[in-house]
Amino acid sequence: MDHARDRAKGHVTLVGAGPGAADLLTLRALRAIEAADVLVHDDLVPADILMLAPRARLIAAGKRKGRHSMPQTRINALLVALGRRGLRVVRLKAGDPLVFGRAGEEIAALRAAGIAHDIVPGVTSALAAAADARVPLTLRGVASHLVFATGHGADGALPPGIEALAREGATLALYMARSVADGVAARLLAGGLPASTPALAVEQAGRDTRRLFAGALADLPALAARDDLAGPVLILVGPAVAHGDLAQAEPFLADLLAAAA
Ligand SMILES: C[S@@+](CC[C@H](N)C(=O)[O-])C[C@H]1O[C@@H](n2cnc3c(N)ncnc32)[C@H](O)[C@@H]1O
């Protein structure tokens, strides 16, 4: 590799910002953020993390459900253009960049353009959610598989084959599944998962503002109907969930009497 040429072309680092708490950034992420000339960030990355980059120009790429976002092709082109200008660019993504972060498309564009790039992993929200409720994601004799899955396929609909995730002894970590919790639950039940399978949803995992909701798979659809959840939500389903500390969790179904009081 021609390092002098790479330096002249700049460098793009895809950095995982973790679930949104500054103290869950890795040291490597912090160093990259502090050294950046430009920081292209997603909406889910909070202001206190962006403040760690005082010298960087900040560019918001959006990517929050229901809000205006830069199209992915434009983000790819932007990263290439910034890299070509010889800048140190940080592409800051929620959680881990390689987990449902469209990093693959950005990496492909950088590779095709010959821009040097690397990846700094981050704490993905499934791990933060599990830690919040002290849920062992794998547990001897109870859960021997851990599956990261999304509720939204490439066309926005439920991904095909989601029923196949209904496997004995698996913990499912479901991203982007809150608004389609009814469809996800129906498919998992159709796939053979018992209605009583424990489930947990964590809003704003890893942050002080987190909220926990627990119940059975059969009750999960109630989450889709709630209008009091504005933050990102991660859902865990599987027998290992019952081994977490769920005493503080609210039920999936909002207590309408309490809400009206
Ligand atoms: C586009 S995906 C990005 C996932 C991210 N790359 C990761 O590793 O966590 C967005 C989804 O991640 C989940 N998510 C991200 N941050 C979260 C958080 N702090 N708490 C709960 N869920 C979160 C939600 O399911 C949200 O809909």
- What spatial distance separates the first Cα and last Cα of the chain, rounded to whole Å? 66
* pLDDT digit string, tens, across residues 196-241: 999 999 999 999 999 999 999 999 999 999 999 999 999 999 999 9
Strand-pairing partners, residue 59, are: 40
User: Ligand 1: which of 15, 43, 175 to mutate, judged by most atoms within 8 Å of the beta carbon?
Assistant: 175
Q: Which ligand 1 atom lies nearest to the CA of residue 202?
A: 21
Q: Which ligand 1 atom lies nearest to the CA of residue 20?
A: 19
Examine the pLDDT at 6 and tell me if it is beyond 60. no
Q: Measured between alpha carbons, how far is 217 from 236 in angstroms, rounded to an integer? A: 10
Distance 68 CA to ligand 1 centre (A): 18
Please indicate whether residue 257 or residue 83 has the higher confidence score (pLDDT). 83
Distance 113 CA to ligand 1 centre (A): 29
What proportion of the chain, given as a percentage, has pLDDT over 70? 92
The pLDDT of 34-49, averaged and rounded, is 95
pTM of the model: 0.93
Q: Measured between alpha carbons, how far is 102 from 123 in angstroms, rounded to an integer? A: 16
Question: With contact defined as beta carbons under 8 Å apart, do 18 and 95 qualify?
Answer: yes
Distance 85 CA to ligand 1 centre (A): 31
Residue nearest to atom 4 of ligand 1 (CA): 100
Distance 4 CA to ligand 1 centre (A): 37
Examine the pLDDT at 148 and tell me if it is beyond 50. yes
Ranking 16-20, 59-63, 77-81 by mean pLDDT, the lowest is 59-63
Q: What pLDDT, on a 0 to 100 scale, did the predictor assign at position 1?
A: 46
Cα–Cα separations (whole angstroms), residue 97 to 144, 209, 232: 25, 23, 16
Residue 169 per-residue DSSP state? T
User: Ligand 1: which of 43, 44, 102, 152 to mutate, judged by most atoms within 8 Å of the beta carbon?
Assistant: 44
Indicate which residues carry an active-site annotation: 42, 63
Q: Which ligand 1 atom lies nearest to the CA of residue 96?
A: 8
Q: Measured between alpha carbons, how far is 160 from 149 in angstroms, rounded to an integer? A: 11
Measured from the CB, is residue 202 less than 6 Å from ligand 1?
yes
Alpha-helical runs (H) found in 114-220: 125-132, 181-190
Measured from the CB, is residue 96 less than 6 Å from ligand 1?
yes
* pLDDT digit string, tens, across residues 79-134: 999 999 999 999 999 999 999 999 999 999 999 999 999 999 999 999 999 999 99
Q: What pLDDT, on a 0 to 100 scale, did the predictor assign at position 229?
A: 93
Q: Which ligand 1 atom lies nearest to the CA of residue 93?
A: 6
Examine the pLDDT at 252 and tell me if it is beyond 60. yes
Give the H or E element holding residue 111: helix 103-113
Q: Which residues in 87-194 belong to E strands, given as ranges?
A: 88-93, 116-120, 145-150, 170-175
Distance 86 CA to ligand 1 centre (A): 31
Q: Measured between alpha carbons, how far is 21 from 132 in angstroms, rounded to an integer? A: 13
Q: What pLDDT, on a 0 to 100 scale, did the predictor assign at position 153?
A: 84
